[in-house]
Amino acid sequence: MRNIVFTGKGGVGKTTIAAATALKAAEMGYKTLVISTDPAHSLGDSFDVELGSSPVEISKNLHGQEVSVYGDLNLNWEVVREHFAHLMEVQGIKGIYVEEMGVLPGMEELFSLSYIKKYNETGAYDLLVVDCAPTGETLRLLSIPETFGWMLKLMRNMEKYVVKPVIRPISKRVGKLKDIVPEEAVYDQVDHLFSSIDGIIGLLSDASRTTVRLVMNPEKMVIKESMRALTYLNLYGITVDQIVINRVMTDEVDGQYLREWKEIQKSYIDRIEKSFAPIPIMQVPLFRKEVYGLDMLHQVGGIVYRDTDPTEILYHEEHVDIQKKEDGRYLMKLRLPFVFDNRMEANVTQVGELMTVRIGHYQKGVVLPAFLAGLRVSGAEYDEKWLAIDFRKKETAAES
């Protein structure tokens, strides 16, 4: 199954491009599902149809869905919410605060990820098009599995080694403990949720199955955010195979008032083409009227892809390069464009076979191959679009 994920700064028209891509693929005969993981759903508005929390047929070969987080919470998290509510009530807290405490930060992202994995496992569609939230939320979504992984492990270890053998037997005889010790069903539901996204980063970083397409407008703030997005996506090993510049003023847009805007756009388009090359870049013009409905989306799809199959992988590059030097040290290079341009601080730490790379506000854990795990990180520096990490032999006490 092929996955295409669309993201971009809020308001750039990513939903329109995602919808047009899905329609183009469906018209070419691919059984296509397009889903929106943006809490502020506008996918149905783009198609001018009513979408729901389950796939709805839009046209031949094309279905659409707007992920319902609250419905998923009730279905897959109710036992945990009830436990949180009970804990709050024991402490004398009632009302809306109880409901809020039952929803952990990142829950929306978790359920969105679970849908991506679910549809890939069922194989009911040829293509899954994901209309993601704006870039900030999308990047947060990608960091959720790693962020929550330690919490799941901690909870499971607590249940296995402390709660089940020690605390739960005691709680059956001590009333106060019985009120606060979670039942096994609470741990089971937590485990089920996290198992539903297990391996999702592997799926998203598999360039043969999943690529991201960045949508932007020719504006300074949008370009800067897109640069950061590309850096962070590369950090997670996710391939961006297309850039779409939306709402470009063509020569047909006349008038003295807009002349300066057109010149500004041309300068920014030139900057985009130089900065993001060699990733393929397509331009979509500013239309004379609103873009919604199948007819207008058909036009957009024709402009973006022309005679190209939208399911093709339009560009691929390696994100990691490991070189052995003559003096016995190794150089691991991670492709992280725009780190220097955006003045992001890069930090690399190593504990045994696990290396953590932190860029700006995001970090990624990397399990080192055996031949690097026995070495130590001696430094890291930025080399054009690559972060070069130097691995050297560990000094022995005699050597030091």
Delineate the domains of the chain, giving CATH numbers in brackets: 1-317 (3.40.50.300), 320-393 (2.60.40.790)
pLDDT at 180 over 60: no
Annotate 256-308 with DSSP letters as a single string: HHHHHHHHHHHHHHHHHHHHHTTS-EEEEE--SS---SHHHHHHHHHHHHTTS
Cα pseudo-dihedral 346, 347, 352, 354, rounded to 10: -50
pLDDT band per the 50, 70, 90 thresholds, residue 364: confident
User: Would you state the pLDDT for residue 253?
Assistant: 81
Mean pLDDT of the chain: 84
User: Would you state the pLDDT for residue 87?
Assistant: 56
User: Would you state the pLDDT for residue 249?
Assistant: 95
* Residue 287 token pair: 């239309």
Q: What is the mean pLDDT of residues 71-90?
A: 63
Instruction: Provide the 10 A C-beta neighbour count for residue 55.
Output: 17
Cα 193 to Cα 197: distance, rounded to the nearest angstrom? 7
pLDDT at 336 over 90: yes
User: Would you state the pLDDT for residue 311?
Assistant: 98
Cα 209 to Cα 268: distance, rounded to the nearest angstrom? 31
Predicted model pTM: 0.85
Query: Three-state SS for 376?
Result: strand
Do the Cβ atoms of 311 and 30 come closer than 8 Å? yes
Q: What is the mean pLDDT of residues 146-175?
A: 56
